[in-house]
């Protein structure tokens, strides 16, 4: 998903959007190398395994698992199908921009 995620970050530049990642690779040092090689510029946490605290708290069972949180910090969508990500993101970004305009 890294190429797709990079494209989302570029597409959403300047918009109220943040991409966050969670990785469960066993070897943290190798993961750092991969993240550098893949030019990962967004915040990405290392959870140690699929039984780590983040995966456990968010009930992550498989990767990729995509959850979308709105600009108020409310979890709006869980396990979003990859084919629907951009439509849902466009909706959430429009809501955030509309709220910003009201201020």
Q: Is the per-residue pLDDT at 8 higher than 70?
A: yes
Q: Is the per-residue pLDDT at 101 higher than 80?
A: no
Domains in the chain: ranges and CATH: 2-97 (3.40.30.10)
* Summary mean pLDDT of the chain: 92
Residues 6 or more apart whose CB falls under 8 angstroms from that of 21 comprise 5, 40, 42, 43, 44, 45
* Cα–Cα–Cα angle for 43, 69, 32, rounded to 5 degrees: 15
Q: Is the per-residue pLDDT at 93 higher than 70?
A: yes
Q: Which of 47, 40, 44, 38 is nearest to 20 (CA)?
A: 44
Q: Is the per-residue pLDDT at 20 higher than 80?
A: yes
Look up the pTM and report it: 0.82
């Amino acid at each position: 998903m890294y190429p797709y995620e990079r494209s989302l970050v570029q597409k959403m530049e300047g918009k109220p959007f943040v991409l966050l990642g969670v990785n469960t690779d066993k070897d943290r040092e190798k993961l750092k190398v991969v993240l550098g090689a893949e030019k990962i510029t967004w915040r990405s946490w290392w959870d140690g395994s699929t039984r780590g605290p983040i995966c456990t708290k968010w009930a992550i069972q498989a990767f990729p698992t995509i959850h979308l949180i709105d600009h108020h910090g409310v979890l709006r969508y869980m396990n979003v199908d990859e084919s629907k990500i951009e439509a849902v993101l466009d909706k959430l970004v429009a809501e955030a921009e509309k709220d910003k305009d009201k201020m």
